[in-house]
Amino acid sequence: MAGRRPLLVTLDDLQWADTTTLMAVRTLHASLAELPVAWLLARTVTDGHHHVDALFDILERHGAPRVRLPPLPAAAVAELAADVLRAPPDPALLALAADADGNPGLLVDLLRGLRDENCLEITPGRARILSAHLPDRLQISVRQRLDLLTPEARQLVETAAVLGRAFRLEETAELLGSSPALLLPALEEAITAGVLAADAETLTFQHEVLWRAVIEGLPPAIRGPLHRQADDMRAAHGTTSDSDVRDMLRRGDLADAAARAEADRSALPPDTSPARIRSELLLAQVVEARDGAGPAMTLLRHFCAEPATCRTLLSAEPTAAPWLVRLALTLGRRALAERVTVLSAELASTTPASAAPASADRASAAPTSADRASGEPASVDRASADQVSRGPESADWASAEPVSAELASADPGRRRFTAAAAHAHGLLCADASALSRAARTAPDAWCRASASEDLGVILARAGERPGALRGLDEALTGYGECGATRDAARVRRRMRRMGVRHRHWSAADHPVSGWDSLTATELRVSHLVAQGWTNRQVAEQMFISVHTVAFHLRQVFRKLEIDSRVSLARLAAEADHRPE
């Protein structure tokens, strides 16, 4: 064929090819060198497959150009999402997709998982996100990626995850009872595998969703002690971070949280730096949990006295807006709640990308429709700010919201501001749509859970029981994912007051063994396997991969404490257990 006309040979995912296939590619490339044959070979560069590395090195030495593909830009992410979902994604879904940092594999697993687990509402004109939790498909993909690591490298990755997306090697070494030098081989392996990245001072998980999947994949019985060990280590070194205190607050360790928050505040100069402001705010939040709203407001009286100081507070920590609104309403200070809501919305519309807390280099944003209409993004910001400054209950507020949402999707760094503004507005005005938007778009799992809880409360007051329970259930799941046991207990109390007593809502109370511990997918797999189906037949029936079937089957064996298909068939026959 190549003798008659030019020919293009394309091979993808060569990292999975065996040595025989790679040798065949090398031989064919050499033997067809005189013919009009072009080769396009693609592989991942992160898995450390030495044989495919050798092939690419040889081809490059013989003149083949090597092209390293950069992360997908924002416009390409939107196009890929629309292609996978057969509908254009809404701004909230685009904001979540940005956490894949332009990695096509993670992005596709995220989108297909959300679709398959009914976390999306897809209409001909829009794909709208209903729940921002990480789907099982993505969790499985990340676990399979970790399975390729040596036990030492995997232990390093899973231990480091409790320190945050960015961490220091010295801290990880101390948690493991080792030294940085001894961890170097495992670290190099994790970097080569594309799980971690290194800069001059810190190590970082390559992608936000990758880090979330690792930390959420740790069983609570392991994650909790690791968090406490990390807290104790940082406290001993005097390096307690805001996140450490916040974790203690969410777990209900109020005495320790108060002591460390006070120590952190005392260690900073009494100025108006963002670090000092955040320490003041965090101490007030701990005091509110321990002593009530009044003492907390006393600590913040300076910041709440004038619009300028209130704006300074919200600029330093935008996610504080909903908490401040709730605090003000508790104390009957509606004027303050309105001020916080308006200022939060102004910040969401006017904060430049460079000042946004999240990194702006995750994706190169394409111009929004608002940009194209005016020819100047800044003019959109000013117009939106003018609209929201007229008051949270004005008619202009609703027209400003789509602009803020579009800006947030174009620049993921704005999401902390826009989600906090929507949450604050929803609390002040009992606006369920605003709270729903905050629950979908907030970049932090706890913030999403908090908005879901407030949505459930608002709907319960309006007599919408099914929607209220859905919101509270989402909140409980979210609080469980980030170890916020104190908040989860509050949600369970709310649900008990609504008459929900027939199930255990706490993840910790969920059975860890036996039939009742199996997920819906695991039940379906076990039912088919018990009937004698092979993994491939199950995969074809359920439209999943053979590897995914094998993963679920291992989980079934572990939870049922068996080690063979024969035992599974026997147990299934005895229990006559069928998936719902």
Most confident of 411-425, 453-467, 545-559: 453-467
Instruction: State the CB neighbour count (10 A cutoff) for residue 220.
Output: 16
Is the pLDDT confidence value at 68 over 50? Answer: yes
pLDDT of residue 559: 81
pLDDT at 91 exceeding the cut of 80: no
| Range 322-350 average pLDDT | 92
Q: What is the mean pLDDT of residues 356-367?
A: 33
Closest to 85 measured CA to CA, from 106, 103, 108, 101: 108
284 vs 477, more confident: 284
Q: pLDDT value at position 404?
A: 45
- Overall average pLDDT of the 419-438 stretch: 94
Mean pLDDT of 208-216: 85
Which residues is 8 bridged to in the sheet? 38
pLDDT (tens digit, 9 = 90+) per residue, 318-332? 889 999 999 999 999
Whether the predicted pLDDT of 353 surpasses 50: no
pLDDT of residue 459: 95
Contact 347, 384 (CB under 8 A): no
Quote the pLDDT of residue 132: 64
Query: Which has more pLDDT, 449 or 532?
Result: 449
Domains and CATH numbers, the chain: 7-61 (no CATH), 84-132 (no CATH), 139-239 (1.10.10), 313-318+332-509 (no CATH), 515-575 (1.10.10.10)
pLDDT bracket for residue 579 (50, 70, 90)? very low
pLDDT of 284 over the 60 cut: yes
Residue partners of 537: CB distance under 8 A and separation at least 6: 528
Look at the block and give the residue holding tokens 């090398």: 26
- Across the beta sheet with 203-205, what order do the strands follow? 166-167, 203-205, 196-198
**Chain segment 505-548, per-residue pLDDT in tens:** 344 444 556 777 777 778 888 888 888 888 888 877 776 766 67
Q: Rounded distance, CA 403 to CA 504, Å?
A: 41
Pairing mode, strands 196-198 and 203-205: antiparallel
Q: Which residues contact 395 (CB under 8 A, 6 or more apart)?
A: none
d(CA 253, CA 238): 18
Nearest Cα to Cα of residue 261 among 247, 248, 245: 245
pLDDT classification of 49: cutoffs 50, 70, 90: low
Question: What pTM did the predictor assign?
Answer: 0.49
52-61, 101-110, 222-231, 303-312, range with the lowest pLDDT: 222-231
Residue 366's pLDDT band (cuts 50, 70, 90): very low
Q: Are 361 and 412 a contacting pair, CB within 8 Å? A: no
Angle 70-72-78 from CA coordinates, rounded to 5°: 175
The pLDDT of residue 402 is: 44
Tell me the pLDDT of the chain averaged across its residues. 80
